[in-house]
Chain A
């Protein structure tokens, strides 16, 4: 990132909105801050418009606080609830269409690599479950087959939330939702397993109920994507609005599902990624 990206032109300091000035003086760019530092620095996301108690909103805050190098990260989103929040995010982010996010990210990553051969530019896809597992699945999987150096993060709220609560491939079997009037007839798609088989070097499932673990997984995914191959993180963030629970019950719901065994925190690291991360994290540890 060039410094001019966020520097305020002299004389304009007073007229810039306060939240922008805070980003310049106390933002996360160029600094070693993470999830544990939340509250002490200006976050990249500003007053998102998602529903009260939205676990996706929480997940998004945690993801953005976990980016290893936000100043050189470009995010590709997709249509859905999360796209409403991305207009508030202070890193370059692209919303193209519903489902094409991994194809856009493939082209973007390659163009950035050829334009900036001496710099690392992280391309991170952040999209909902409908965008990732239904309408965009072919492009998600094809980007993995091609071993594109991108990280794909699914915000899994198990429903098409923004369009009004329709069944998605990630909805649990039996759930009655719009367009599934008799209950969903097939199980939640096993995308983590598909990701592993399709060539992802690192695959993890996590929820915002474990912020530190989420941070570690997101960082590992992005760092692995730089050097080894595509990576996938699936973040379970149940939707209070469509599943009709109170805004303050989100984390409780996640823990309940964990107890039932219908949501598990998991991590798969390919041997190549394992060697890479061991070296990287060993070096970090020695510091």
Chain B
């Protein structure tokens, strides 16, 4: 129970506390994170495949781990309600996906614009039409420029760790921005895997709104005459300046988050086999599929490295450029039609004809390792001729 939990240093919770292995779904991993997150309040609205995690958080409320919880009326209202609760100084959590994300869209830049450390999970799925509830992460493309930090979890372990760490990063006074933690729906939410969990009797320290770089709206925090909004209602130079400088500050705050992402998440990306000439660069479950493809290719004598991108915003452009400086081919498999990650990588590296965006699966299809293997082989054949594929 909540009252038996003790607050510990975030670094102890993340790195030092003994962990035990459990076999749970991604949805259960979300609840395990929120249980240890010292979250004040959550607001829920059903959408597949997100719902189960918010049911479990409702159970946590019933057990006393959260102080308030309710079902909102739609995703826009839910995101507005957690915004209100955060303005009032509470630590909040919510989750949504797909059409819910798009329904709530207007609120995300508001979270960033009001510098609120809201943590929201996105269990990504297709968006209509035609209707699809299946895994796909096209919604991430639509959130890239909302000002929100974006972390992409590969599996349930990542999902658990990233949600908790997102609070630690988002609440830093020099960051104080919302954080979205994304997974590919169903693949992670509805499958069981081994997850290492710290004890449930410890939790993050409480959120202290007095450390926020912007005042809390509680009539306890000075100043009492306050202009929180950019002055965009009047057309004059001051209003342009206020708006523009505020937006630059939001971007700067995300830049300042990089050092905390390195500290708490071990970097914005992970590189395996750094001396390889061929790389698979991916985020989310495409990373797991890439691992399989790398094994298959290795058996065929083709050495391929892996770049797992964990932070999408801020984006590790410099790290990717450095990691691939000597690479001849960078293949980017994705669970969406638009290929937003390939675009980001192409914009980050020199000689971006080295980047191949594919394979792309969407509409809920799985990504067999063979698809990735074929993409790599075809790219090698196109670029270097047949002999290179067998080298």
Contact = CB atoms under 8 A, between A and B. Distances in A.
Interface residues of A, number: 45
A114 B40 CA distance: 8
A92 B227 CA distance: 9
7 contacts: A1-B224, A5-B224, A90-B225, A97-B106, A103-B78, A108-B88, A111-B68
Contacts of B85: 107-108, 110-111
Interface string A40-70: 0000001000000000000000000000000
A105 B84 contact: yes
A254 to B, nearest CB: 27
Interface residues of B, number: 45
Interface string A96-112: 11001001111111111
A76 interface: yes
B231 interface: yes
B233 interface: yes
A107 to B, nearest CB: 3
B80 A1 contact: no
Given A100-B107, A106-B81, A92 B73 contact: no
Contacts of A73: 219
A258 to B, nearest CB: 33
A94 B217 contact: yes
Given A96-B80, A97-B106, A112-B88, A121 B225 contact: no
Contacts of A100: 76-77, 80, 83, 107
A146 B71 CA distance: 10
A84 interface: yes
A139 interface: yes
A174 B80 CA distance: 35
Nearest to A29: B224
A95 interface: yes
Contact of A121 (B73, B86, B218): B218
Contacts of B224: 1, 5-6, 23, 90-92
Nearest to A17: B225
Interface of B: 40-41, 43, 67-68, 70, 72-74, 76-78, 80-90, 92, 106-107, 110, 114, 215, 217-229, 231, 233-234
Nearest to B40: A114
Contact of B219 (A91, A105, A113): A91
B80 A104 contact: yes
Contacts of B73: 103, 138-139, 142
Interface in A1-26: 1-2, 4-6, 20, 23
A134 interface: no
A67 to B, nearest CB: 11
Contacts of A46: 225
Contacts of B72: 103, 142
Interface in A125-175: 138-139, 142, 146
Contacts of A72: 219
Q: Closest 10 A-B residue pairs measured CB to CB?
A: A107-B84, A111-B88, A107-B85, A107-B81, A111-B90, A104-B84, A103-B80, A108-B84, A100-B80, A111-B85
Contacts of B219: 1, 5, 71-74, 91-92, 121
B201 to A, nearest CB: 22
B83 A104 contact: yes
A1 B81 contact: no
Nearest to B231: A87
A115 interface: yes
Given A71-B219, A111-B41, A111-B88, 5 more contacts: A73-B219, A94-B87, A107-B82, A107-B90, A111-B40
A4 B77 contact: no
A20 B226 CA distance: 12
A6 B153 CA distance: 45
Contacts of B80: 96-97, 100, 103-104, 107, 139
B117 to A, nearest CB: 13
A79 to B, nearest CB: 9
B328 to A, nearest CB: 48
Contact of A96 (B68, B110, B218, B225): B110
A81 to B, nearest CB: 10
A106 B85 CA distance: 8
A18 to B, nearest CB: 13
Nearest to B227: A87
A84 B233 contact: yes
